[in-house]
Structure 1
Amino acid sequence: MVHSDYLKQEKFNLINTSLKVKHAPRILILYGSLRERSYSKLLAEEAAQILTHMGADVKLFDPTGLPVFDSEHNLEHEKVQELRNLSLWSEAQVWSSPELHGNMSGLMKTQIDWIPLTMGAVRPTQGKTLALMQVSGGSQSFNTLNNMRVLGRWMRMFTIPNQSSVAKAYEQFNEDGTMKDSSYRDRVVDVMEELMRMTYILRDNAEFLVDRYSERKANEIKVQLQNI
């Protein structure tokens, strides 16, 4: 549940009046832990509530039961298909991972691995906006964020500059799972607000922005070969 004080403020300015908003931004949120009280999941749920209040259409993917990545097996697995369909549905994504051994969790990486760069003629993540968040058990760190940022770039996503790193996450959440009022939570709101703005601006222009000379050239050669 989003804090009532935030609901009352409504001071964010998300939509430029010159923009024609066709529908609510479709945002997929992934989190990287299956623990009963997973702080990366709690952070993801907090972000989901904030985004919903901002007007987004939000879906969280539950990774329970998702098999370890194997490019030759489990492609038809129910959870794999669910994740891929949600990625295709989304216009933006949020990745929330704990930091383990200075990196994202294996579960977080598995989810990203199951989203391919190409599916036939479709690129499931190209041109989508991405926001990154991490939780740490100790002092603040940016290792996980930096590594996920590399993956976001590899997946051809527009990864927004702002990001959220929550240190000593066990101190930052109430018993009911909501996030305590703090500078960490303020940053989460900042990141979600920036994600919404960037998604509004970029989603209808994604095809133009990711159009590449090398790919156009390759397609032309392919067409020429087919006509021989």
Structure 2
Amino acid sequence: MKITLIAGSNRPDASTTQLSQYIAHLLQEHGHEAEVFNLYEHQLPLYGPGEAYGHEEVQKLAQAAKSADALVLATPEYHGSISGVLKNALDFLGSDYFNNKAVLSANSAGGLIGTASLLHLQTIVRNVHGINCPEWISIGGSQREFNENGEPTDEGTELRIRKAVESFIDLASKLSSSSA
């Protein structure tokens, strides 16, 4: 399967991006193709009618999402919601990009956990006809630390992420095989 991960932070070396890269690593360990679309590196214009859809970075995002069999959406939690750059990116995408695809929601929060942004992501996914994974990933506080190999330093966090990714792979595989 091909899985696109959209890392929704606008900071270099953000814990959200590190989490996305670690999830991609786990997906690759399971034999899947994983592409991290980092919104810090791929800066999009503000969503609006007109020529923005022809913008090179919007086209890259659209291709990455459209060609994926499943998606991972990762965001920092800002003021109890998702980041503006991720919301802006998702506004360029619609049901053509998510319809009947498994979607895993993940976040990195300043506190211990951040469920509000995950709930917001799941609402957006439902509205674009994606299939929410019943598991989600939230890391916060010291759980946001990664070692030089890109792995979480906290063993419990690493195990929790692995379990969520395995659940996501299971759902994505079932949906992918049922549409084949």
TM-score by length of 2: 0.92
Q: 1:175 to 1:137 in 2, by over 3 A?
A: farther
For 1:204 and 1:45, the matched residues in 2 are separated by 26
Q: How is 1:1-228 mapped onto 2 (pairs within 5 angstroms)?
A: 25-63=1-39, 64-117=42-95, 123-168=96-141, 171-175=144-148, 177-206=150-179
Q: Deviations over 1:105-137 (max 9, x none)?
A: 0011111111123xxxxx221010000111011
Q: Is the 8 A contact 1:128 1:206 kept in 2?
A: no
Q: Which amino acid aligns with 2:130?
A: M
* Partner secondary structure for residue 152 of structure 1: helix
Q: Which amino acid aligns with 1:136?
A: A
For 1:29 and 1:78, the matched residues in 2 are separated by 19
For 2:52 and 2:43, the matched residues in 1 are separated by 12
How many matched pairs?
Answer: 178
For 1:68 and 1:204, the matched residues in 2 are separated by 36
* Partner secondary structure for residue 93 of structure 1: strand
* Partner secondary structure for residue 124 of structure 1: helix
TM-score by length of 1: 0.73
**Relative to total residues, which structure has the larger helix share, 1 or 2?**
2
Q: Is the 8 A contact 2:8 2:38 kept in 1?
A: no
Q: Percent identity?
A: 23
Q: 1:199 to 1:155 in 2, by over 3 A?
A: same
Instruction: Give the alignment's Cα RMSD to 1 decimal.
Output: 1.7
Instruction: Quote the offset at 1:144 in angstroms.
Output: 0.6
Q: Deviations over 1:21-45 (max 9, x none)?
A: xxxx110000111212201000000
Q: 1:84 to 1:169 in 2, by over 3 A?
A: farther
Q: Is the 8 A contact 2:75 2:83 kept in 1?
A: yes
Q: Is the 8 A contact 1:137 1:169 kept in 2?
A: no
Instruction: Quote the offset at 1:65 in angstroms.
Output: 2.2
Q: Which amino acid aligns with 1:31?
A: A
For 1:51 and 1:188, the matched residues in 2 are separated by 11
- Which residue does 1:4 correspond to in 2? none
Q: 1:163 to 1:89 in 2, by over 3 A?
A: same
* Partner secondary structure for residue 55 of structure 1: coil
For 2:108 and 2:21, the matched residues in 1 are separated by 13
Q: Deviations over 1:159-197 (max 9, x none)?
A: 110111101157522255432142222111111111111
Q: Which amino acid aligns with 1:79?
A: E
Instruction: Quote the offset at 1:71 in angstroms.
Output: 2.6
Q: Is the 8 A contact 2:27 2:34 kept in 1?
A: yes
